[in-house]
Amino acid sequence: MKIIVTGGAGFIGSNFIFHIMKKYPDYGVVCLDKLTYAGNLSTLEAVLNKPNFRFVKEDICDRTAVYKLFEEEKPDVIVNFAAESHVDRSILEPEVFLKTNIIGTATLMDACLKYGIRRFHQVSTDEVYGDLPLDRPDLLFTEETPLHTSSPYSSSKASADLLVLAYHRTYGLPVSISRCSNNYGPYHFPEKLIPLMIANALNDKPLPVYGKGENVRDWLYVEDHCKAIDLIIHKGREGEVYNIGGHNEMKNIDIVKMICRELKKPESLITYVADRKGHDMRYAIDPTKIHKELGWLPETKFAEGIKKTIEWYLENRKWWQTIISGEYKNYYEKMYGNK
């Protein structure tokens, strides 16, 4: 089996590559990544020299480059993590999100149609469903929940999802889609809530929290997400959407206070800032379908996962400090610049 993982130098994509290469040592894995600001080649340092791994620096919107890669590698499965994903950035620069998340996805699927594959898997997000009211804890997103997006980011991901399903219906392309709740864990880019709070707290910097911090998110440890995608690409039904949720609903402010306690930092570091435009109040996923069909359940409780995550950031300061300093952007040149 040969798998192309797009966006594999990012947070979830890199963790997925580690999972696949450990579980299936006979698989060939190709990472296709543009190495934008959120892609970090040093994250993949542990596998870069393995004989069954290849890294390719290209843009998924570059049709010539994508087709060339498919001709060379003849992949069986494509797992598309490649996406612009930060909501705040999408509000400032929506066009970038539309290009990568929609046109890039279409380019990959056109290559799949031209060269043939067993499965194209689209990694989506629970944000395509919009949000839920805080006073209705009984309500959860199911696969039948109507799409109701709030930001250019979530709109671009919902558009890509519809396009993926259209390629399945129109062309018979073997596809699947997963929509996951918020992930956390090792190699999470420091602009996101949990790693940002850890890094700032360790440096005794202010901990900026939107509004009153009452927004609720359903958190899933990244390793559990990778195991779910693994199941879907091997055993999931074609043309289906699978929700992946952690049953770990937490208010943002409670997470920040938990991080303060774990790091023995004062809550006086918390600073409340003006709320994000169109800020969704609550996400909550119902993962019944993937549990019943594929037997998947989240294995990591939040209290355990957040401790493991904090420990990882404490033990891997160099990784996130080089990102904050901007030095990580030079890693590709150090590795490949003279080759």
Amino acid at 72: E
Out of 33, 127, 223, 230, the active site residue is: 127
- Six-digit token pair at 240? 């289906």
C-alpha 75/C-alpha 95 separation (Å) is 30
Look up 328 and say whether it is catalytic: no
Out of 33, 59, 84, 126, the active site residue is: 126
Half-sphere exposure of 250 (CA within 13 A, CB side): 22
For residue 327, the 8-state DSSP code is: G
Out of 153, 184, 242, 331, the active site residue is: 153
Question: Burial of 276 by CB count in 10 Å (0-12 exposed, 13-18 middle, 19+ buried)?
Answer: middle
Name residue, tokens 């040592």.
Answer: 25
DSSP string computed for 269-298: GEEEEPPPTT---B--B--HHHHHHH----
DSSP string computed for 83-112: ----HHHHHH-HHHHHIIIIIHHHHHHHHH
- Write out the E strands in 27-174: 28-33, 53-57, 77-80, 119-125
Look up 153 and say whether it is catalytic: yes
DSSP string computed for 206-239: -EEEETTS--EEEEEEHHHHHHHHHHHHHHSPTT
Look up 45 and say whether it is catalytic: no
C-alpha 310/C-alpha 46 separation (Å) is 21
C-alpha 117/C-alpha 161 separation (Å) is 18
C-alpha 51/C-alpha 26 separation (Å) is 10
| Catalytic residue set | 126-127, 153
